[in-house]
């Protein structure tokens, strides 16, 4: 049946009201009757969702939007083609059988906007159905349409990608039965009535499903005044809410892990196993927060949920219970606190090798200034939530963690791509320990930022610890602060206002001090300077149009120091200062101009999210002039969090090296070039002296006369 072809979603919700209808006359525009209203035009609103859960049947109602909270699919292209029934009639039309229908030339297309929507409306951009280059309207009377997803940025063929939605056939207006249920105070249904009619505003929620068991997304952004931003765009002082979802399964009926990399219901019962050193090492998760994000203490909530065969939802808070058996674990390598915050990556769950060998780490590198949120649960904890002993099928088993962070404005220690804040999470469990890496997921939020490398004169290593700030591009007076204004350090400042800066990162500072097994995790690249969260957002849902808030000068506020540790000095002592007695580098004491964000002036937050590349500042290719790193000679590796190699860099030099502006004209570098110039100068002076001597001998003057100068 055509109405069944709209099957794309979710379960029937529970409401507190005494009377609930599947469709309403306001949002769904449901009109009762056996035939459509003459001349009444229908509407179609499509909302694209990303999910890792199994789909439930959709009703086509606007109320389906509240059945699950999932990330929107942005930039997904759909085609809507009017079709006519084939030999089998309306009931015989199947989207995967071309002979069951005939395509017409009436075709609409649409690209989902930042909310994942396409609707009938004005304009010709994203979020609007388009026909022949103009906004589309649907004709009155019953017409049939084939809905196809033609392009998706999420369908990349990788294990973490999202499969396209299957094609479907629908009718507009949508013929439906409106079921109304009446319930008493206890929620029991006392009566049910059905009414035939048509839905004139059909809501569809097609989903892209991923087989990835661990996913992460940003849920929302709230500005410093406590107001929700319209889209996922953030700046310093904003609060970002994140959501992590770990899926569990009910496929392995054996009593031991089957090594398929997925944690099944029965495998929870096998925790602890003889291979585990502690009973609470059945499942662990570590969430890495760069310095651009500050965890909001006490904001974590962990919920475990599953559905039985009848669709009934079972939900349990996993961060706290009455008897305290479930909890947010403590810092694994220190005293920690109730939120499990730590500065050191934890070890993975021990594998079949037993307790003799230390485990690998959840993250093989991290930067100074990075923090982690660490969680772990044992088999009894998980069994208490998911109840594997119950003789019912378990569907859509998942653990959901939500928490809040504040954007700091002190740079990004993990070198998130310019214009984005990237937040990564790793997880591990007893059925994944034989895999070479933990399970991984990440999410990002658009922001205004800038990124470059800090290196030495030889461009063979990144220099750490150098601090950069932003100034006015015209006079360099004052530094940029979190309220978007410039202050000199001696100026009085409003309470809560902080300076915007970024520091050249140092990879795995603590980890590089570990001995033995852990010492193999050495830095892979460092010296990357990443500004994030620059305050250029307006209060009207758009980037500011004030030119003074969009252009900046860049200055090096403080140079870094040499950081070299011999292998003999490696010891686990994170509190030690590796920069003690280290020689300082010299740096350019000038303002580099201009870092420019004018390209985003007046853009809506929706347009920024729709573009999917954040807000990276525009800089001249030769921003640093004589102090620019020569990329032709580079041997160091400057890769950001997405693996992109940076092409912009600035050099420092040691006290026994010359300023780049003083030695830039030498024909050769090093002793050979200087020696040749000295020899040439000596030869020239000898020749001049010889010529003067000969002139005095061959042309003497009378006594008392002097040769004119």
Query: What pLDDT score was predicted for residue 352?
Result: 42
Query: What pLDDT score was predicted for residue 280?
Result: 52
**Rounded Cα distance, 412 and 401, in Å:** 23
**Rounded Cα distance, 406 and 545, in Å:** 25
pLDDT at 152 over 60: yes
Rg (C-alpha) for the chain, rounded Å, is 33
pLDDT per residue over 310-330, tens digit each?
778 888 888 764 444 444 443
Query: What pLDDT score was predicted for residue 603?
Result: 94
- Choose the CATH number for 30-209 among 1.10.3470.10, 2.40.30.170, 1.10.3720.10, 2.60.40.10: 2.60.40.10
The string of DSSP letters for 389-447 reads TSSS--EEEEEEEEEEEEE-SS--TT-PPTTEEEEEEEEEETTTTTSSS-EEEEEEEE-
Q: Quick check: helix, strand or coil at residue 20?
A: strand
Query: What pLDDT score was predicted for residue 568?
Result: 27
Query: What pLDDT score was predicted for residue 3?
Result: 43
**Rounded Cα distance, 271 and 259, in Å:** 14
Comma-separated ranges of CATH 2.60.40.10 domains in the chain: 30-209
pLDDT at 694 over 60: no
pLDDT at 521 over 80: no
Q: Which of 148-162, 219-233, 239-253, 339-353 has the highest mean pLDDT?
A: 219-233
Averaged pLDDT for residues 681-696? 53
pLDDT at 274 over 70: no
pLDDT at 435 over 90: no
pLDDT grade for 332, boundaries at 50, 70 and 90: very low
pLDDT per residue over 40-50, tens digit each?
999 999 988 88
Between 236-250, 408-422, 674-688, the lowest mean confidence (pLDDT) is in 674-688
Choose among 286, 312, 302: nearest CA to 370. 286
Averaged pLDDT for residues 22-26? 82
Query: What pLDDT score was predicted for residue 484?
Result: 95
- Choose the CATH number for 214-342+360-510+523-564+583-660 among 3.40.640.10, 1.20.120.50, 2.60.40.740, 2.40.110.10: 2.60.40.740
> Using CA atoms in the order 258, 261, 262, 264, what is the torsion angle rounded to 10 degrees?
20
Three-class secondary structure assignment of 230-295: CCCECCCCCEEEEEEEEECECCCCCCCCCCCCCCEHHHHHCCCCCCCCCCCCCEEEEEEECCCEEE
pLDDT at 227 over 90: yes
**Rounded Cα distance, 240 and 232, in Å:** 9
Between 420-424, 514-518, 658-662, the lowest mean confidence (pLDDT) is in 514-518
Q: Greater confidence, 330 or 217?
A: 217
**Could you tell me the sign of the dihedral formed by the alpha carbons of 658, 662, 668, 671, in that order?**
negative
**Rounded Cα distance, 577 and 592, in Å:** 31
Centre a 10 Å sphere on the Cβ of residue 192 and count the other Cβ atoms it contains.
9
The string of DSSP letters for 192-213 reads EEEEEEEESEEEE--EEE---S
**Rounded Cα distance, 131 and 79, in Å:** 10
pLDDT grade for 561, boundaries at 50, 70 and 90: low
pTM for the model:
0.73
Comma-separated ranges of CATH 2.60.40.740 domains in the chain: 214-342+360-510+523-564+583-660
End-to-end alpha carbon distance in the chain: 111
**Rounded Cα distance, 399 and 433, in Å:** 19
């Amino acid at each position: 049946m055509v109405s069944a072809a709209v099957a794309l979603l979710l379960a029937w919700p529970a409401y507190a009201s005494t009377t609930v209808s599947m469709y309403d006359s306001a949002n769904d525009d449901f009109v009762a009757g056996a035939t459509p209203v003459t001349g009444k035009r229908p509407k179609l609103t499509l909302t694209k969702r990303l999910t890792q859960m199994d789909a439930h049947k959709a009703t086509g109602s606007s109320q389906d939007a509240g059945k699950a909270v999932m990330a929107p699919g942005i930039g997904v292209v759909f085609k809507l083609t009017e079709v006519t029934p084939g030999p089998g009639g309306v009931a015989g039309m199947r989207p995967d059988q071309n002979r069951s229908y005939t395509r017409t030339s009436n075709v609409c297309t649409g690209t989902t906007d930042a909310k994942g929507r396409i609707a009938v409306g004005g304009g010709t951009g994203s979020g609007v159905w388009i026909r022949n280059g103009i906004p589309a309207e649907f004709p009155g009377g019953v017409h049939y349409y084939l809905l196809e997803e033609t392009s998706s940025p999420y369908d990349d063929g990788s294990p973490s990608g999202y499969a396209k939605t299957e094609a479907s056939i629908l009718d507009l207006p949508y013929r439906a039965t409106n079921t109304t249920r009446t319930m008493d105070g206890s929620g029991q249904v006392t009566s049910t009535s059905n009414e035939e009619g048509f839905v004139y505003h059909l809501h569809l929620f097609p989903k892209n499903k991923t087989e990835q068991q661990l996913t992460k997304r940003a849920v929302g952004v709230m500005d410093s005044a406590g107001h929700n931003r319209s889209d996922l765009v953030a700046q310093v002082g904003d609060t970002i809410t994140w959501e992590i979802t770990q899926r569990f399964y009910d496929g392995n009926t054996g009593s031991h892990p089957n090594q398929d990399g997925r944690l099944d219901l029965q495998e929870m019962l096998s925790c602890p196993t003889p291979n585990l050193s502690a009973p609470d090492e059945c499942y662990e998760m570590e969430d890495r927060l760069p310095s651009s994000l500050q965890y909001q203490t006490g904001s974590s909530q962990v919920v475990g949920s599953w559905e039985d065969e009848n669709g009934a939802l079972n939900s349990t808070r996993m961060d706290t219970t009455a008897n305290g058996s479930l909890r947010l674990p403590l810092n694994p390598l220190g005293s920690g606190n109730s939120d499990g915050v730590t500065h050191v990556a934890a070890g993975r769950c021990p594998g079949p090798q037993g307790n003799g060998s230390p485990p690998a780490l959840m993250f093989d590198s991290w930067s100074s200034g990075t923090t982690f949120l660490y969680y772990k649960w044992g088999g009894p904890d998980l069994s208490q939530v998911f109840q594997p002993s119950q003789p019912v099928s378990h569907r859509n088993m998942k653990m959901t963690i939500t928490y809040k962070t504040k954007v700091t404005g002190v740079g990004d220690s993990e070198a998130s791509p310019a214009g984005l804040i990237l937040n990564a999470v790793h997880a591990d469990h007893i059925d994944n320990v034989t895999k070479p890496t933990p399970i991984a997921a990440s999410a990002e939020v658009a922001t205004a930022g800038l990124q470059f490398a800090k290196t030495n004169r030889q461009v063979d290593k990144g220099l750490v610890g150098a601090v950069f700030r932003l100034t006015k591009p015209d006079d360099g007076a004052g530094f940029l602060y979190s309220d978007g204004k410039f202050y000199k350090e001696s100026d009085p400042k409003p309470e809560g206002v902080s300076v915007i800066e970024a520091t050249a990162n140092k990879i795995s500072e603590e980890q590089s001090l570990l001995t033995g097994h852990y010492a193999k995790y050495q830095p892979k690249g460092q010296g990357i300077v990443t500004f994030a969260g620059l305050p250029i957002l307006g209060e009207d849902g758009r980037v500011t149009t004030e030119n003074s808030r969009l252009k900046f000068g860049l200055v090096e506020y403080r140079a870094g120091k040499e950081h070299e540790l011999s292998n003999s000095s490696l010891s686990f002592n994170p509190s030690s200062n590796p920069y003690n007695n280290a020689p300082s580098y010299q740096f350019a004491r000038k303002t580099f101009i201009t870092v420019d964000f004018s390209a985003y002036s007046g853009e809506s937050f929706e347009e920024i999210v729709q573009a999917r590349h954040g807000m990276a500042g525009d800089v001249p290719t030769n921003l640093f002039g004589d102090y620019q790193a020569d990329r032709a000679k580079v041997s160091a590796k400057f890769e950001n969090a997405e693996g992109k190699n940076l092409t912009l860099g600035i050099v420092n030099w040691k006290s026994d090296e010359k300023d780049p502006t003083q030695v830039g004209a030498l024909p050769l570098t090093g002793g050979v070039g200087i020696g040749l110039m000295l020899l040439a100068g000596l030869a020239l002076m000898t020749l001049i002296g010889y010529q003067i001597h000969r002139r005095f001998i061959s042309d003497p003057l009378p006594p008392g006369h002097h040769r004119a100068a």
